[in-house]
Amino acid sequence: MPLNTDFSPEMRPQDPIMLVDEMSATEYYVGVSDRFKDPSKPYWRIKRIWKIGSVWHFGFPNGRQDYKYIWDERLSYTYTP
């Protein structure tokens, strides 16, 4: 099989964008976008991490891990595992 010599750094996919919002020592929001940096567009996968007692919980908007949420609206979603 011949080697692909057409590779260039410009053709490499962009690294995902990640944002972390530390609401408190026991609550965080983590957003990842694989397309755009704009936090007002619906291209984000958002995870809420919160601690109750000694247990950390992880949840996603409506339990979904899709890249379709708006980072700027992260506080308005209902998070479930």
Tens digit of pLDDT for each residue in 13-56?
678 899 999 999 999 999 999 878 899 999 999 999 999 999 99
The rounded Cα 14 to chain-centroid distance in angstroms is 15
Give the other-Cβ count within 10 Å of 78's Cβ.
10
> Is the dihedral angle over the CA atoms 47, 37, 35, 74 positive or is it negative?
positive
Question: Does the structure show a pLDDT above 60 at 7?
Answer: no
Query: In terms of pTM, does the model score above 0.95?
Result: no
The model's confidence at residue 1, banded by pLDDT at 50, 70 and 90, is low
pLDDT in tens, 46-65: 999 999 999 999 999 999 99
Structure tokens at 4: 């692909």
**Structure confidence at residue 78 (pLDDT):** 97
| Domain spans in the chain, listed from the N-terminal domain onward | 13-80
